[in-house]
Amino acid sequence: MYVIIWEYQVKVDRIMEFEKIYRSNGSWVELFRKGTGYISTELLRHGAKSSRFITVDCWDSAKNYEQFHSQFKKEYETLDAQCKGLTEHEILLGKWESVNNETR
């Protein structure tokens, strides 16, 4: 499995809109579902700070994620631009690969 993790500091007055777009049936997931190998997205909110969120996007492989990103680049960039006003900042925490399927 290939996992992409983002952290967001959301503007307090935009939390509801952010949640609607980023949750598991939101606009990002609608776009991701167009790609081969997309598995799921989890939206997590920090317990003590309600404006801090993390998304965990799961794909079956890095190859399929990169193919999606290339194939739907314009749509990705358009949606990303629409979401810019929702956050104070966002940070890519990393792209991770599962070691469970590796053979050594």
Which CA distances in Å does 5 have to 13, 103, 104?
Answer: 24, 25, 26
pTM to 2 decimal places:
0.89
pLDDT digits (tens, 9 = 90+) for 12-60: 999 999 999 999 999 999 999 999 999 999 999 998 889 999 999 999 9
pLDDT of residue 64: 98
CATH architecture of 2-97: 2-Layer Sandwich (3.30)
- Residue extents of the structural domains in the chain: 2-97
Total Cβ atoms within 10 A of residue 8: 21
Q: Which of 27, 21, 25, 33 is nearest to 58 (CA)?
A: 33
The tokens describing 45, both together, are 């909110």
What span, in angstroms and rounded, lies between the C-alpha atoms of 5 and 92? 6
Place of tokens 């949606």: 79
What's the pLDDT score for residue 7?
98
